[in-house]
Amino acid sequence: MTQTPLAAAPPSGSLPPARSWLGPLMVLGGGVAIGFAPIGLRIGIQEFGNELGPQAIAMWRYIFATPILFGLVLLIHRRLPRPPNKFIILAGTFFAIDIALWHWALTMTSVSNATFIVNLGNIGVGVVAWLFLKERPGMHWFFAASLAIAGAAALSLGGKALHTGGLKGDLFALGAACFVAGYMMFSKLGRRNLSGIEAIFWLSVVESVVAFIIVNLAGERVLPVTANGFIVPLVLALVAHVMGQGLIVSGLGWTNTAVAGILVLAQPVVAAAIAWKLFDEPLTALQAAGAATILVAVWLAQRERTPRPA
């Protein structure tokens, strides 16, 4: 990754043509990286479930990522991070709540239901950006969004082990979808006077604090029984947080928010492919078709690079 796109966000309302391809590529790469997050959580619960609960795993993911990101700020900018703005604080709060609701939803409803509902939040980012950021999506986005919804439904709900989830869990997943849309919108606003690496550093600080509160409210153990309990959070911190969220937040400075929401949908495709190999969970024909449809939507969405003022 070059230092230039992290140095400053572009002026609101325009993206430099010479860099218009780099932002979407970074967001897409971040979506691929965070595809490892649900896999890591599943391994953490199955293999180390007696060490940390799902909320504590998320908390330690943020905590481990924070000093790494601080070091990257010093390495890239040769100075301390600039103070966070209110939008970064809001974005970090929204993200921590989003992950908390998502983890709870996975324990209350079917994985397929929760995955589909949460992915609707990524599509809703385009509507939120239109209403609040005045970024009117082009026609490519509307067609891509329709394909993405259909593909997400087929991928998430088309498995052989489909079963009905609980209403409470579905509502938690719907709440997570709303918070992920708010997270991306506030991250976009926060990037206007912070570099990408500074933004993700302060996001991690806020997320660590909020997650610590959530862990205590949930009554989960803060510290694992043995050092092995830190393995999964550490891996998630490096892959899903530093690489995944770092690329997404950095790329948001150069990417239409609506387009970014669809590009992030590479996540469930990656997770499904990994689960196929790692957990011997082959995709059904309908799920494979859904994954292919999402990839078509991602390809189509990235063609709409420049925000259109409403």
Residues 118, 126: Cα–Cα separation, whole Å: 15
**263 and 298 in contact (C-beta within 8 Å)?**
yes
**Each residue's pLDDT expressed in tens, for the chain with a length of 310 residues:** 333 333 334 444 443 443 567 778 888 888 888 888 878 887 887 777 788 888 999 999 999 999 999 999 999 999 999 999 999 999 999 999 999 998 888 767 666 666 777 777 777 777 777 777 677 777 777 888 888 888 888 877 666 544 455 677 778 888 888 898 889 889 888 888 888 899 999 999 999 999 999 999 999 999 998 988 899 999 999 998 999 888 888 887 777 777 777 888 887 788 777 777 776 777 788 888 888 888 888 877 766 544 443 3
Angle formed at CA 180 by CA 176 and CA 185, multiple of 5 degrees: 150
Provide the pLDDT for residue 111.
62
pLDDT given for residue 249 in this prediction: 83
In a 13 Å sphere around the CA of 171, the CA atoms on its Cβ side amount to 3
Contact 116, 174 (CB under 8 A): no
Q: Which of 243, 292, 295, 288 is nearest to 265 (CA)?
A: 295
Q: Which residues pair with 21 in a beta bridge?
A: none
Query: DSSP readout, 69-125?
Result: HHHHHHHHHSSPPPPPPHHHHHHHHHHHHHHHHHHHHHHHS-HHHHHHHHHHHHHHH
Neighbours of 225 (CB within 10 A): 11
